[in-house]
């Protein structure tokens, strides 16, 4: 049975005359990864900061339902891990010292923090750097240390804001694997990212925010079913084929013998196939739902237009 | 959590090379610059100057006795003036002069030298003494009576109900309040500067949000303030230890006699309040700045605030019960330093010190509150310095 760990209920945040977040609600379950998506300036970071208690909402509430703690609107900081988008490390300090400090302010005993920090550094191939200064690390290495700092205290809820940004594909895969492990351990993960392919491969559900409001919310399958219209790619043998697309097609692009059609919401591949005239000179055809990236772009653009 | 932040701030600075070098080098610099003038003076000890005297008054033996131990010598000469001039030009003597009746009557003496330059102080002093002695002889006055008549009055202020050791106590209070006022100022300047830079560095290193997700802005700010206070105390304690050891064991000065124990608690209270007041200002301002460059520019402006106290010092020391002294006591930016000086002079009434302490407590609380609001928002703002308008809005915004 799923257990809600984080409940965000109708939170509002205003800065001066601008409403940055306008009545956003969602929840994150134990052992789940929720993708928190949105274009730049949509209100993601503000929402995450409200969850982390760094800024207070003007209305609505954030409730933490952690095992043994009941429902609380105070952030149980020692049970929550946070990797912010604006992140860094104390440049002149030693790596192990930074990790110990960050673990200790999360309430971890120093000895345990030291043991865990060394374990994590070994796991990320940074064991030899424990006593090195932060300024000696490459960007990818520093990001690994930042990730360790966010999860070293084994939090029940992990909030990751753009964890993949600036990472090469190999390190992206390493991070994705670690995020999956957090989920397997039973942690609830709230993951904000612009890398849609990684979100699609990693997340169980997604929440799309734009202009401070909810645009999409649900499982990947549901979202794709609801908003993921089908795209048809056709290669025809007759470049001069005179075909008038039926009403089932919302948008069509033609490049010589290559046709690309976007079907209207609700139209199935079968309906489209039946609509093709007999004897259509189709050489190749592929019909697939559009990607999360396309859904994101469509929804974000529509949101902006609205 | 607060002590984790305090420990972190203290330990990372104690491991910082710049801090360690500053800690060790400063007393060395003080010693070097303190001793340098006297060393330089020794290196450039004036050579012995020799003067020839045409002595019509038979006063050369008197002068030789007066100049004994000084780098000036005089010798009686009977040669004619052209020969004396030749001797000076040849470098055999630095100059010559004539002691005759005219000197006794007019008090004017012309010293002939190769190039005009001031006569050595020792010679001028000896000639002054000679003139007075000759004139006293002329008037048949006993030099001892003259000294008795011409001695200056020594005016001593003595309180009617004051205990016998009042003057010693006053001196001890003055020295201690002066030393503590200097330490407070040093704490404000050195720790304040480190605090301002520390807040900017926290932003530069993009650590603010990471840390604020674990602890509140108030805790982070307070931890920084206490941490840098302790660092300042470590610095000052180390330097005091060296300084007092030198005074006690090398110069044999009884340092303990200069501690006015009854004044210690109020002086320490004002030192602490003064530090907290200014530390909150610096850390709040630091949070609104984008980078070290802006911090350096702003630091000069912000540091003008503690300098306000110095405007009050001359009128306060000349009239410690006056109107200006009272304004300085109750005006928060100058209150710690001025009240400490007045306490040291035993010029601040108990009620004045109490009111000043209450004013400082309230104003420190207000400044800490405002600084924490600036800190809370400012630490999360990247890419620009905050404007005055923004800062005012943050201070008014409670949530």
Asked whether residue A107 is domain-assigned, the answer is: no
- Residues B289, B140 share a domain: no
> What pLDDT shows up at residue A304?
43
- Residues A215, A173 share a domain: yes
Asked whether residue A188 is domain-assigned, the answer is: yes
Q: Which residue of A has its CA nearest to B205?
A: A88
Asked whether residue A44 is domain-assigned, the answer is: yes
Asked whether A156 and A67 are in contact (CB, 8 A), the reply is: yes
> What pLDDT shows up at residue B221?
86
Asked whether residue B178 is domain-assigned, the answer is: yes
Asked whether residue A111 is domain-assigned, the answer is: no
Interface contact flag, B209 A146, Cβ < 8 Å: no
Of the candidates B1, B205, B382, which has its C-beta nearest A105's C-beta?
B1
Asked whether B173 and B260 are in contact (CB, 8 A), the reply is: yes
C-alpha span between B304 and B306 (Å, rounded): 6
Least Cα distance to A104 among B198, B292, B203, B11 occurs for B11
DSSP secondary structure string for all residues of A26-54 = EEEETT-EEEEE--TTSSHHHHHHHHTTS
For chain B, the domain total comes to 2
Interface contact flag, A91 B205, Cβ < 8 Å: yes
Interface contact flag, B399 A106, Cβ < 8 Å: no
Asked whether residue A61 is domain-assigned, the answer is: yes
pLDDT per residue rounded down to tens, chain B (399 residues): 788 999 988 988 888 888 888 888 887 887 788 778 777 777 766 678 899 999 999 999 999 999 998 889 999 998 888 999 999 999 889 999 999 999 999 999 999 998 888 888 899 999 998 998 888 888 888 878 877 887 778 776 666 666 666 666 777 777 878 888 888 888 888 888 888 888 888 888 888 888 888 888 888 888 988 898 888 888 888 888 888 888 777 777 777 777 777 778 888 888 888 888 888 888 888 888 877 777 777 777 778 888 888 888 888 888 888 888 888 899 988 898 888 888 888 888 889 989 999 999 999 888 888 888 888 788 777 767 777 777 787 777 665
What angle do helix axes B217-245 and B17-43 make, rounded to 10 degrees?
30
- Residues B296, B175 share a domain: yes
DSSP-derived pairing of the beta strands A258-263 and A249-255: antiparallel
Q: Which residue of B has its CA nearest to A79?
A: B214
CA distance A264 to chain B (A): 43
Asked whether residue B115 is domain-assigned, the answer is: yes
Q: DSSP 3-state assignment of A227?
A: helix
C-alpha span between B241 and B221 (Å, rounded): 30
Unique residue bearing structure tokens 């006699």: B257
- Residues B117, B183 share a domain: no
Asked whether A158 and A187 are in contact (CB, 8 A), the reply is: yes
Q: DSSP 3-state assignment of B57?
A: coil
- Residues B383, B283 share a domain: yes
Pairs of CB atoms within 8 A across A/B: 68
Asked whether residue B21 is domain-assigned, the answer is: no
Between positions 354 and 393 of B, the ones with CB within 8 A of A are: 380, 382, 393
Interface contact flag, A80 B12, Cβ < 8 Å: no
> What pLDDT shows up at residue B126?
93
Asked whether B312 and B328 are in contact (CB, 8 A), the reply is: yes
Regarding predicted confidence, which is higher, A139 or B41? A139
Asked whether residue A50 is domain-assigned, the answer is: yes
Interface contact flag, A90 B16, Cβ < 8 Å: no
Region A20-46: what's the mean pLDDT?
Answer: 92
- Residues B184, B104 share a domain: no
Under DSSP, the state recorded for B215 is: S
> What pLDDT shows up at residue B294?
72
Among A44, A45, A54, which would you mutate to test the B interface (most chain B Cβ atoms within 10 Å of its Cβ)?
Answer: A54
C-alpha span between B169 and B258 (Å, rounded): 8
Asked whether residue A294 is domain-assigned, the answer is: no
pLDDT tens digits along A204-214 = 999 988 889 99
Indicate which CATH number applies to the domain containing A180: 3.40.50.300
Regarding predicted confidence, which is higher, B149 or A151? A151
- Is the CA virtual torsion A234, A240, A243, A245 positive or negative? positive
Interface contact flag, A101 B393, Cβ < 8 Å: no
CA distance B2 to chain A (A): 8
Asked whether A227 and A37 are in contact (CB, 8 A), the reply is: no
Interface contact flag, A87 B16, Cβ < 8 Å: no
Of the candidates A77, A92, A93, which has its C-beta nearest B213's C-beta?
A77
Per-residue confidence at A154, pLDDT binned at 50, 70, 90?
A: very high
- Residues A161, A82 share a domain: yes
Interface contact flag, B213 A54, Cβ < 8 Å: yes
Q: DSSP 3-state assignment of B259?
A: coil
- Residues B279, B240 share a domain: yes
Q: Which of A179, A199, A225 is the last residue of a domain?
A: A225
Task: Residue A250: give the domain boundaries.
Answer: 229-289
Structure token pair of residue B207? 């650590």
Regarding predicted confidence, which is higher, A285 or B32? A285
CA distance B27 to chain A (A): 26
Residue B213 touches partner A, C-beta closer than 8 Å: yes
Among B10, B18, B207, B372, which would you mutate to test the A interface (most chain A Cβ atoms within 10 Å of its Cβ)?
Answer: B207
Q: Which of B85, B114, B146 is the last residue of a domain?
A: B146
- Residues B391, B363 share a domain: yes
Output the pTM of the full model: 0.73
Q: Is A38 left (phi over 0), alpha (psi -120 to 50) or beta?
A: left
- Is the CA virtual torsion A197, A203, A206, A211 positive or negative? negative
Residue B292 touches partner A, C-beta closer than 8 Å: no
Asked whether B176 and B260 are in contact (CB, 8 A), the reply is: yes
Q: Which residue of A has its CA nearest to B207?
A: A88
- Residues B228, B376 share a domain: yes
Interface contact flag, B12 A90, Cβ < 8 Å: yes
CA distance B212 to chain A (A): 6
Structure token pair of residue B369? 């509150």
C-alpha span between B129 and B134 (Å, rounded): 9
Asked whether residue B65 is domain-assigned, the answer is: yes
Interface contact flag, A105 B215, Cβ < 8 Å: yes
- Residues A219, A153 share a domain: yes
CA distance B12 to chain A (A): 7
Long-range contacts of B45-49 (CB under 8 A, 24+ apart): B45/B71, B46/B71, B46/B120, B47/B71, B48/B72, B48/B73, B49/B73, B49/B94, B49/B95, B49/B120, B49/B123
Maximum separation of any 2 CA atoms in chain A, in Å: 76
Region A77-101: what's the mean pLDDT?
Answer: 89
CA distance B373 to chain A (A): 11
Residue B397 touches partner A, C-beta closer than 8 Å: no
Of the candidates A54, A58, A78, which has its C-beta nearest B212's C-beta?
A54
Of the candidates A49, A86, A106, which has its C-beta nearest B206's C-beta?
A86
C-alpha span between B81 and B61 (Å, rounded): 21
The dihedrals phi and psi of A19, each to the nearest 5 degrees, come to -95, 110
Instruction: Kindly list the residues from chain B whose CB atom is less than 8 angstroms away from the CB atom of residue A86.
Output: 206, 208-209, 380, 382
> What pLDDT shows up at residue B318?
84
CA distance A52 to chain B (A): 6
Classify each residue of A193-220 as buried b or exposed e, where b means 16 or more C-beta atoms within 10 Å of its C-beta. Answer: bbbbebbbebbbbbbbbbbbbebbbeeb
Task: Residue B387: give the domain boundaries.
Answer: 165-396
Least Cα distance to A294 among A302, A283, A286 occurs for A302
Interface contact flag, B206 A101, Cβ < 8 Å: no
Instruction: Kindly list the residues from chain B whose CB atom is less than 8 angstroms away from the CB atom of residue A45.
Output: none
C-alpha span between A95 and B192 (Å, rounded): 27
> What pLDDT shows up at residue B102?
92
Asked whether A227 and A299 are in contact (CB, 8 A), the reply is: yes
CA distance B399 to chain A (A): 6
Interface contact flag, A102 B12, Cβ < 8 Å: no
- Residues A273, A163 share a domain: no
CA distance A16 to chain B (A): 9
- Residues B223, B140 share a domain: no
Q: Considering only CA atoms, give the Rg of chain A.
A: 23
Structure token pair of residue A149? 């700092």
Interface contact flag, A102 B210, Cβ < 8 Å: yes
Under DSSP, the state recorded for B258 is: G
C-alpha span between A187 and A123 (Å, rounded): 19
- Residues A176, A202 share a domain: yes
Q: Which of A225, A246, A274 is the last residue of a domain?
A: A225
> What pLDDT shows up at residue B159?
65
- Residues B102, B60 share a domain: yes
> What pLDDT shows up at residue B288?
82
For chain A, the domain total comes to 2
Instruction: Give CA A110 to chain center in angstroms.
Output: 32
Interface contact flag, B399 A80, Cβ < 8 Å: no
Interface contact flag, A86 B212, Cβ < 8 Å: no
- Residues A220, A178 share a domain: yes
Asked whether residue B209 is domain-assigned, the answer is: yes
CA distance A305 to chain B (A): 29
Asked whether residue A82 is domain-assigned, the answer is: yes
> What pLDDT shows up at residue A306?
35
Interface contact flag, A84 B209, Cβ < 8 Å: yes
Between positions 8 and 47 of B, the ones with CB within 8 A of A are: 8, 11-12, 16
- In the sheet that holds A188-192, the strands lie side by side as A80-83, A157-161, A188-192, A33-37, A205-210, A213-219
Q: Which of A205, A225, A245 is the last residue of a domain?
A: A225
């Amino acid at each position: 049975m799923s257990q809600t760990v984080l409940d965000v209920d109708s939170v509002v945040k205003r800065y001066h005359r601008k409403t940055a977040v306008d009545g956003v609600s969602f929840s994150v379950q134990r052992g789940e990864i929720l993708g928190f998506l949105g274009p730049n300036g949509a209100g993601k970071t503000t929402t995450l900061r409200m969850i982390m208690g760094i800024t207070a909402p003007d209305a609505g509430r954030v409730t933490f339902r952690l095992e043994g703690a009941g429902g609380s609107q105070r952030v149980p900081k020692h049970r929550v891990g946070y990797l912010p988008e604006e992140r860094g490390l104390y440049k002149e300090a030693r790596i192990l010292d930074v990790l110990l400090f960050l673990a200790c302010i999360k309430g971890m005993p120093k000895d345990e923090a030291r043991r865990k920090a060394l374990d994590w550094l070994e796991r990320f191939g940074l064991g030899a750097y424990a006593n090195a200064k932060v300024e000696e690390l490459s960007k990818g290495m520093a990001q690994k240390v930042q990730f360790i700092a966010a999860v070293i205290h084994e939090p029940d809820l992990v909030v990751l804001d753009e964890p993949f940004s600036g990472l090469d594909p190999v390190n992206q895969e390493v991070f994705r694997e670690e995020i999956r492990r957090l989920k397997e351990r039973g942690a609830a993960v709230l993951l904000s990212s612009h890398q849609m392919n990684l979100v699609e491969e990693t997340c169980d559900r997604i929440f799309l925010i734009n202009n401070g409001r909810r645009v999409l919310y649900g499982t990947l399958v549901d979202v794709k079913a609801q908003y993921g219209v089908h795209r048809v790619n056709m290669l025809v043998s007759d470049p001069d084929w005179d075909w008038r697309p039926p009403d089932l097609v919302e948008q069509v692009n033609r490049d010589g013998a290559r046709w690309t059609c976007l079907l209207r919401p609700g139209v199935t591949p079968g309906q489209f196939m039946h609509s093709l005239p007999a004897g259509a000179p189709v050489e190749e055809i592929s019909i697939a739902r559009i990607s999360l990236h396309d859904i994101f772009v469509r929804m974000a653009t529509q949101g902006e237009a609205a | 959590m607060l002590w984790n932040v305090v420990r972190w701030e203290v330990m990372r600075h104690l491991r910082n090379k710049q801090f360690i070098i500053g800690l060790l080098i400063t007393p060395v610099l003080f010693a070097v610059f303190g001793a340098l003038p006297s060393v330089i003076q020794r290196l450039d000890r004036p050579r012995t100057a020799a003067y020839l005297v045409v002595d019509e008054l038979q006063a050369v033996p008197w002068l030789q006795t007066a100049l004994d131990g000084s780098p000036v010598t005089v010798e009686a000469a009977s040669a004619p003036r052209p020969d004396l001039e030749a001797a000076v030009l040849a470098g055999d003597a630095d100059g010559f002069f004539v002691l005759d009746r005219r000197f006794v009557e007019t008090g004017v003496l012309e010293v002939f030298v190769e190039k005009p330059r001031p006569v050595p102080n020792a010679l001028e002093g000896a000639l002054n003494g000679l003139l007075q002695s000759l004139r006293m002889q002329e008037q048949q006055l006993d030099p001892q009576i003259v000294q008795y008549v011409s001695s200056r009055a020594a005016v001593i202020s003595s309180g009617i109900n004051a205990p016998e050791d009042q003057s010693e106590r006053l001196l001890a209070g003055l020295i201690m309040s002066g030393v503590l006022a200097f330490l407070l100022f040093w704490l404000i300047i050195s720790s304040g500067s480190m605090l301002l830079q520390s807040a900017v560095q926290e932003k530069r290193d993009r650590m603010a949000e990471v840390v604020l997700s674990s602890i509140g802005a108030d805790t982070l700010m307070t931890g920084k303030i206490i941490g840098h206070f302790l660092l300042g105390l470590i610095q000052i304690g180390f330097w005091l230890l060296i300084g007092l050891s030198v005074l006690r064991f090398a110069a044999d000065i009884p340092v303990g006699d200069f501690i006015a124990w009854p004044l210690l608690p109020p002086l320490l209270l004002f030192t602490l309040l003064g530090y907290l007041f200014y530390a909150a200002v610096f850390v709040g301002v630091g949070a609104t700045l984008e980078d070290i460059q802006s911090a350096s520019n702003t630091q000069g402006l912000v540091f003008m605030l503690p300098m306000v106290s110095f405007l009050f010092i001359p009128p306060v020391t000349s009239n410690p019960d006056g109107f200006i002294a009272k304004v300085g006591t109750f005006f928060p930016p100058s209150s710690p330093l001025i009240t400490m000086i007045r306490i040291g002079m035993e010029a601040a009434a108990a009620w004045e010190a109490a009111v000043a302490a209450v004013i400082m407590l309230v104003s420190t609380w207000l400044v800490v509150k405002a600084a924490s609001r600036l800190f809370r928002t400012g630490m999360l703002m990247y890419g620009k310095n905050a404007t005055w308008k923004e800062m005012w809005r943050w201070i008014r915004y409670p949530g």
